[in-house]
Amino acid sequence: MNHILYSVEEISSTIGGKSFVENPDSQIRTLLTDSRKLTDTEKGIFFALKGRRHGHTFIKDAYDAGVRNFVISDETIDRSSYSGSNFYIVEDTLKSLQDLAAHHRLKFSYPVIGITGSNGKTVVKEWLYQLLAPENNIVRSPRSFNSQIGVPLSVWEMNEENNLGIFEAGISRKGEMENLAKVIRPSIGIFTNIGEAHYEGFENTEEKIKEKLKLFEDVDTFIYSCKYLGEYAGELPGKNRFTWCYRDKADLDVFDDEVLEGKFQFLRARYNGEDIEALIPFTDQASIENGIICWATLLAMGYEPEEADRRLAKLLPVNMRLELKNGINNCSLIDDSYSLDLSSLAIALDFLQQQNQHLRRTLILSDIPGDTLDPLLIYEKVARLLENKSVDRLIAIGPHIKKYAAEFNVETIFFEDTDELISKLPSLKLANETILLKGARAYEFERISALLTHKVHETILEINLTAVEHNLNYYKTLLNPGVKIMAIVKAFSYGSGSFEIANLLEFNKVDYLAVAYADEGVSLRKDGITLPIMVMNPDVMAFETIIENSLEPEIYSFRIFEEFLEVLNRKNISHYPVHIKLDTGMHRLGFEEKDIVKLIGLLSETDAMRVESIFSHLVASEDESEDDLTKEQVKKFEQMSGMIKEKLAYPLLRHVLNTSGISRFPDSQFDLVRLGIGLYGIDSSNKEGSPLQTVTSLKTSISQIKEIRAGETVGYGSSGKMPQGGKIATVKIGYADGYSRALSNGVGKMLINGKQVPTVGKICMDMCMLDVTGLNVSEGDEVIVFNNEIRVEDIAKKINTIPYEILTGISQRVKRVYYYE
Ligand SMILES: *Cc1c(COP(=O)(O)O)cnc(C)c1O
C-alpha cells in the first residue's frame, strides 16, 4: 500500500523528452489523468492526454488543486504561470504514461495473470480474484480498467506487499496490444473467447485474434479453448499451454453438464486421465464458460481438482455497476455494496463527488479487508481520499477502522457491526443527502441498502450513465474543432430523468442545455445545474420565472419579442441572452424570410436583449430522400442568419443540426450543434450497426402464471386466442406505464430468461399477458420490455411510430434507476 516514491530524475529518465525542473525534490506516487478527479495532488503527476478534449486546457485546474508535476506535449504552454512546477515535455503523453507504468512493472517479479478476449474479461478477472484471494495478496484492475489509459493506471497500483497481479486488456484497433503487453508483462495468459464484436476495427477474425495474442508473447503458461482458437492458423504463444474444450481433446475436456435445481451448473470433465467434477452457481451460458475458464486456470496453477471444485461452488455474482437510486427522506443512494478495496473505493468516491443534488455527502464504510497490509497505511489513505472527495460524514462499521478514528478529519460515527448500525438507523437522521454504501461482503451491506431504498413498483427503467457518456463522446468525435454542444434534455431527458442526466452533462462540460418549457429549466436550477439553459417554448406567463432563474428564452415571433422586451424594460435589465429561432421550412415556430429586416431593426434599437444564438430546426435530417430539402433549409438558414449576424456588432452562435444532422451533414455544424436523442442511444441515420450504446432498459416481472385450456381466451374482449391452450404469464406493465395498446396480441415481444415471448390478448392499463407455453419460468422472474436486444427502434417501427414517442411515453410512475458501469 505504501506506493514506491519516484524521484524527478527517475521520472524524467523514464519518459524521455525535455524536463524543466523547478522543484527537484518533489516525489511522485500518484498518476493523474483527469482534472475533475484529482487526489494526492502534492505527490501526483498530471498527464495532459490528448483526447476528445485537449488535456492541456486542464493544467490550470490541476495546478490550482496543488499538482506540481506535469507531463505535456505542447511546448507553447506558458510555464511561467505555474511557478514551482516541473514540466516534462514529451512527444506523446499517453505513451509516456504507458512507459512509466511499464517501468514500474519491472520492479516486481511475482506472477501476473493477463486476460484478454472479446467478452468476459472483467468477470473472469473478478472471479479469479475471489478464487485466489485466500492465500494471495492480489493487485488487480479496478472495474473494467482495460484500455490504453486504464491498463497503466491499474499496473501502477502494484507494490511490494502483493504477490500476484491480475489485469485485463481490451483493444479497439491494430497496434494497441503491443503497448499494453509491455505494461502488463503477464506470466500467465488467459484468452477468454472471440466474438463477432463489431467496430473493433479489424478486417477479419484471424487478424483480430493475432492482435489480441500479442499480449501473451512472453507468457510461461497460456490458457485457452480450442473452441475459439482451434481453427486459428497462426502460432500460439506460451511455453506451456493449458486447453479446455467441450467433448474434444483438451487438458480439460468438459463432457457432461446438467442444471441442478435450476440454480447450479454441474460439470464433469476428463483431466489427467481422471473424471473430475465442479459445480458453478450460475446457469447462463456466458457464466458457465467464464466458470470453466476459471476452473482451467486453477488446475493450470496446480490446484487439486477437489479444492478447485470447493472454491468454484462459492463464486459470487460480479456486479460492476454503481447504482444511483432514490432513497428514504429525499436522500440519493449510491449502492456499491458488493465489494471493497481501495481502488474501487476511490472510483465510487469520484461518483459521489459528482453528485450535486444535495449539499451533504455521507459515506457508509466497513472495515477494509486485507490481512497482510499495514492497517494504519490503509486508513491514512482512506482519510486522504475522504478529504479530497468532499465527504462530509463517515459512518464506519467494524472493529478495525474504529482504532484509526484519529486519522479522519471529517465528522465520524462508529459502529461495531451492521446490526448495531441498523438498530440505530433512525438516530442517524439520514435526510437530504447523498449516501455512498461501500462494504466488504462479510458486512452484508445489502441489508442497509434495503432499508434506505424506497420500495419500488416493480417496473423500472434502468439508465446506463456510462452509455450516455460514451454516446456524448462519440458525437464529440464528429465535431470540427471549436464547435460547441447544446444537449437537449426536454421531456425529462427523453424520459431518462432530468436532473441525473443534466448533472452528468454538466460534469462532462457540454456548453448549453435546452428544455421545452420554463418549468423544466426551473427544476434543473433548483437541483443546482448552473449551465446556460435555453427554453424552446417560453410562455409569456413564465417570463418573470425565466429571468429569476437565469433561463434563456427562444424568441420565435414579434409577439414574444415585444412581450419579453416589455418585461426586461420594466425590470431595467440590459443585455439579457436570448436565442432567435428562424423558420426555414418546418413551419412550426420561428421568424420567416419576410420578417428578417424588421427583426434586425428591432434588435438594433434595444440593448435589453443580446442575441446569444440564431438557430433553425431541420425537417428531415435523417432521411436521405429528403436531402435536397435539408440542403435548401441549411442554405436558407445561412442567408437569413447571416443578415442578422452582419448587422449586430457582437459575436453570436449559429446552429441548425440535431442528432441525425450531426451524423449526416458534417459541413453544416456552424458554431454549435443540438444533440438530443443520440445521447440516449438512438440515431435513425445509423443504417447498419450503430456506434452508440443502449442507454435505457425497461424491466418488469411476472405476477402470476396460468395454464390455459384449449379454446379458452385471454384478456379483455376475448381477443387473446389460444386454440391449443398453453401457459401465460401476467406481467406488471400496461399502457398506463407507456406500453402501447398497439402492442396487443403478439405484436409486442418481451424477453424472459433470454427467450423472446409474444403478448397475448389486449394490453391492459397496468398489466399484460405473455405466452410462455413450453418455457420454464416462475412467478417473480424478471421480464425485459426493451433493452439492447429488443430495441426501442424495433418496437416503434412495429406500431408505426418513432423511438422518441416510446421513450418519452414511459410514465413517471415507472421508477428510474441510474447506474455507472
Ligand atoms: C428536440 C429538438 C432537438 C433535438 O433533436 P434530436 O433529433 O433528438 O437530436 C434539436 N432542436 C430542436 C429545436 C428540438 O426541438
- Which of 380-389, 515-524, 733-742, 804-813 has the weakest average pLDDT? 380-389
The pLDDT of residue 472 is 96
Q: What is the pLDDT of residue 378?
A: 86
Q: What is the pLDDT of residue 105?
A: 97
Q: Which residues pair with 261 in a beta bridge?
A: none
CA 221 to chain centre: 34
Domains along the chain?
6-93 (3.40.1390.10), 108-312 (3.40.1190.10), 322-455 (3.90.190.20), 464-680 (3.20.20.10), 696-820 (2.40.37.10)
Q: pLDDT, tens digit, for every residue of 736-758? A: 999 999 999 999 999 998 899 99
Closest CA to 706 of 786, 761, 784, 765: 761
Half-sphere exposure of 74 (CA within 13 A, CB side): 14
Determine which of 189-198, 202-211, 323-332, 351-360 has the lowest per-residue pLDDT on average: 189-198
Work out the angle between the directed axes of helices 176-184 and 205-213 (0-180°, nearest 10): 30
| Amino acid 52: pLDDT | 46
pLDDT score, position 324: 87
Q: Is 762 in the pocket of ligand 1 (CB under 6 A)?
A: no
Read off the pLDDT of residues 638-685 as tens digits, 9 standing for 90 and up.
999 999 999 998 999 999 999 999 999 999 999 999 999 999 999 988
Say how far apart CA 413 and CA 390 lie, in whole Å. 17
Residue 129 Cα to ligand 1 middle (Å): 46
Which of the residue ranges 218-227, 420-429, 636-645 would you say has the lowest mean pLDDT?
A: 420-429
Which atom of ligand 1 has the smallest separation from the CA of 677?
8
Which whole number is the average pLDDT over 410-421?
94
Instruction: Locate 8 and state its grid cell.
Output: 524527478
Residue 533, beta-bridge partner list: 513, 551
Tell me the per-residue pLDDT of 385-396, one tens digit each, with 9 for 90 and over: 998 888 999 999
Closest CA to 814 of 699, 665, 668: 699
Ligand 1 centre and the CA of 585: distance in Å?
A: 15
As a whole number of angstroms, the distance between CA 708 and CA 699 comes to: 25
Distance 494 CA to ligand 1 centre (A): 10
Does residue 536 have its Cβ closer than 6 Å to ligand 1?
Answer: yes
In this structure, what is the dihedral angle of CA atoms 140, 145, 147, 152, given to the nearest 10 degrees?
-50
CA distances from 186 to 3, 190, 360, 458 (A): 21, 10, 43, 45
Residue 454 confidence (pLDDT) = 67
pLDDT at 796: 97
| Residue closest to 486 by CA, chosen among 514, 460, 461, 515 | 514
User: Ligand 1 pocket test: which of 474, 484, 488 has the largest number of ligand atoms within 8 Å of its C-beta?
Assistant: 488
728: pLDDT confidence band, cut at 50, 70 and 90? very high
Buried b (16+ CB within 10 A) or exposed e, 463-499: bbbbbbbbbbebbbebbeeebbbbbbbbbbbbbbbbb
Q: What is the model's pLDDT at position 458?
A: 76
* % of the chain with per-residue pLDDT over 90: 75
In which band, very low, low, confident or very high, does the pLDDT at 174 lie, cut at 50, 70 and 90?
confident
Query: What grid cell was written down for 738?
Result: 407507456
Please give the number of the atom of ligand 1 that sits closest to the Cα of 581: 13
**Does the active-site annotation cover 490?**
yes
Task: For residue 372, name the pLDDT band (cuts at 50, 70, 90).
Answer: low
Query: Is a pLDDT exceeding 60 seen at residue 371?
Result: no
Mean pLDDT on 596-622: 96
pTM for this model (two decimals): 0.74
pLDDT for position 437: 95
What is the residue whose three cell numbers read 449510491? 334
pLDDT of 77:
86
pLDDT digits (tens, 9 = 90+) for 758-778: 999 999 999 999 999 999 898
Q: Is the pLDDT of residue 162 over 70?
A: yes
Beta-carbon neighbour count of residue 211 at 10 Å? 20
- pLDDT for 819 equals 85
Confidence of residue 247 (pLDDT cuts 50, 70, 90): very high
Q: Is the confidence at residue 199, as pLDDT, over 70?
A: no
Taking the C-alpha atoms of residue 451 and residue 337, their distance in angstroms, rounded to an integer, is 13
For the chain, what is the radius of gyration of the CA atoms? 29
Distance CA 663, CA 479 (A): 10
Residue 373: the pLDDT is: 64
